[in-house]
Structure 1
Amino acid sequence: MAKMNMIEAINSAMDVMLDRDKKTVILGEDVGYFGGVFRATAGLQEKHGKQRVFDTPISECGIIGVAVGMSAYGLRPIPEIQFADYIYPGLDQLVSEAARMRYRSANDFICPITVRTPFGGGIFGGQTHSQSPESLFTHVCGIKTVIPATPYDAKGLLIAAIEDNDPVVFFEPKRIYNGPFSGYYDRPVEPWSKRPESEVPEGYYRIELGKARTVREGQDLTILCYGTMVHVVEAVVANMQIDADIVDLRTLMPLDINAIEASVKKTGRCMIVHEATRTSGFGAELAALVQERCFYHLEAPIERVTGFDTPYPHSLEWAYFPGPVRIGTAIEKIMKV
């Protein structure tokens, strides 16, 4: 075991898979010699060579299009899109080609690509470096959507994604790349280095896609969250001393609906927290599923705490995030019913 932050865990996962499977390749802007804008691929080209880890032109549609062709040829490409905000030029390749490859070929071809991309706020990147577009991909049949919240999960989930025979979009919450709340906002309950999630095996292990993680057991309230919001919610609940079940979804598609249903039926209350904008965010789908499956167990209306329906603010991004005040207010509201 080693102490790792999320960047180091992601780097370790790719290093393990490059060693383990010679069909694995990494491509993207600045991923080679420079090691990626966030240093997630640092040292991998030097160790594994320029044929396995290589730079591409600044062309997201080209990066993903080439990766789709590589996967059809038998490789397992890991394209990096430098920021999730830049993924849209490659959306056609993902939706029209990658997601449909297995079905339209009657299972003769698979498309084992893992698109890594940092998402969400935390670096004052404004509208073009801070978006959370995860719900766009959960809507597309054939694409799996993964969002880790800890270094341990990041490595295990990324290895599982690389080994998966279907396309996976792997969103990495950059606000917690170096530990929860890296920066100056919302200190965690205890130092990151002391948290068990920072203990990461140096070798191979995998975490099955589609399995949620119970962060904290409780009887009075279920809080569904993922990515950075897991740590924000955990800190708020600890400070308020609420007996809450905190469920880290980890993968949005496939979704662990059984874990969600079991928790809500136990607590009778459900709150959903995510950073993305509210309208048509993934929280709306979660609310519908909970209402359909747990209606007669609910003791209060479902609450959502999300980003606002506005263009992403630059200087005001910390007000945009769901934080202690808004989450705390929602908890007090739902517990009064």
Structure 2
Amino acid sequence: MNKMTMVEAINLALKSAMRQDDSVIILGEDVGVNGGVFRATVGLRDEFGLKRVLDTPLAETMIAGLSVGMASQGLKPVAEIQFMGFILPTMEHLIGHAARLRHRTRGRLHCPMVLRVPFGGGIHAPEHHSESTEALFAQIPGLRVVIPSSPARAYGLLLAAIRNPDPVLFMEPKRIYRLNAQPVEDSGQALPLDTCYTLREGNDITLISWGAMIKETLEAADHLAQQGVSCEVIDVVTLNPIDHETMLASVAKTGRCVIIHEAPKSCAVGAEISATLAERGLVNLQAPINRVTGYDTVMPYYRMENHYMPNTADILEAVKTTLEFS
């Protein structure tokens, strides 16, 4: 079993899906000749040819619309939007058509498309390259929003997304594309969607996060373990639909919760999770739910980027405040 980074695992999943299913088509800006801006699609054009790996113009609206059309006619397009900041032109097709196609046709048509998009900060990128706007899409019925946090989960979740009969927004945290490597087997086995993954069992407090912030969350859990604090760490993974049951069960056990995400605080997915835990799990809470998030402002340029993004120290401070509440 080879060790690989997340971007390599994504590439492997795409190869696996294309080898198993001739209806899987890759399209996007620079995905063919150049292998994608982050090289997630490198080598695919050489193996599968021009008809299955399509370089498109710089036209996100066209990429999304073409994907909806392909999906409605029996293909399984996997389209790439180069950065999250460029996704706004796709919203008409994703929200108005892809997410509604099954409902609109009373189940006669499905829309098995995947829209891959690198997101988040931490790589010293210019404007419109570091957004974390998952909440814009997590509210849309019929549109799954999936975010992996490790190479192995990226491989299994991407396979599951490609095989899903409905549209999936597959958001890839680019800060951890090449952060570390882990064993990934090219087994062709998909991981389940629509469920949280408990990465660490604990009894004192629940830490909930997703994407790149899982790194800092686990670091905080390791540090707290040395102080005798037992943290349960939950990776949400699928932001729509959200698996609230796993989080409710965890909070019922620990009684305390901190939610960590990079996106701005207001109207974020963390707010939805917090509201549900309060509505359905209030009797189990021993302290107010705490949130560690980005600021309600535009992601700054790289000189201020680290001041914007939550870090391990921020998580530790939030945990301390939550544990001391009585």
Q: TM-score if structure 1 supplies the norm length?
A: 0.94
Matching of residue 22 in structure 1 with residue 22 in structure 2: yes
Residue aligned with 2:187, SS = coil
Check the 8 A contact 1:143/1:168 in 2, yes or no.
Answer: yes
Check the 8 A contact 1:126/1:312 in 2, yes or no.
Answer: no
1:131-146 equivalences under 5 Å are 131-146=131-146
Paired with 1:166 and 1:53, the residues of 2 have a C-alpha distance of 21
Q: Which residue of 2 aligns with 1:39?
A: 39
Residue aligned with 2:296, SS = coil
Paired with 2:171 and 2:84, the residues of 1 have a C-alpha distance of 8
Give the alignment partner of residue 289 of structure 2, picking from 291, 294, 302: 302
Matching of residue 247 in structure 1 with residue 234 in structure 2: yes
Paired with 2:125 and 2:230, the residues of 1 have a C-alpha distance of 36
Give deviations 1:215-265, integer Å, cap 9, x for gaps. 111101001100111110111121232311000111111212111111000
Give the alignment partner of residue 249 of structure 2, picking from 239, 244, 262: 262
**Which residue identity is paired with 2:91?**
L
Residue aligned with 2:127, SS = helix
**Which residue identity is paired with 2:214?**
V
**Which deviates further from its counterpart, 122-131 or 218-227?**
122-131
Q: Which residue of 1 aligns with 2:77?
A: 77
Q: TM-score if structure 2 supplies the norm length?
A: 0.97
1:115-194 equivalences under 5 Å are 115-179=115-179, 192-193=180-181
Unaligned segments of structure 1, at least 5 residues:
180-191
Q: Which residue of 1 aligns with 2:218?
A: 234
Unaligned segments of structure 2, at least 5 residues:
none
Paired with 2:164 and 2:253, the residues of 1 have a C-alpha distance of 33
Aligned residues with identical type, % of pairs:
43
Superposed structure 1 runs of 4+ greater than 4 Å apart = none
Deviation at 1:127, TM superposition (A): 3.3
1:251-330 equivalences under 5 Å are 251-314=238-301, 315-330=303-318
Deviation at 1:211, TM superposition (A): 1.6
Deviation at 1:133, TM superposition (A): 0.8
Q: 1:335 to 1:234 in 2, by over 3 A?
A: same
Paired with 1:100 and 1:309, the residues of 2 have a C-alpha distance of 30
Deviation at 1:176, TM superposition (A): 0.1
Matching of residue 201 in structure 1 with residue 185 in structure 2: yes
Q: Which residue of 2 aligns with 1:183?
A: none
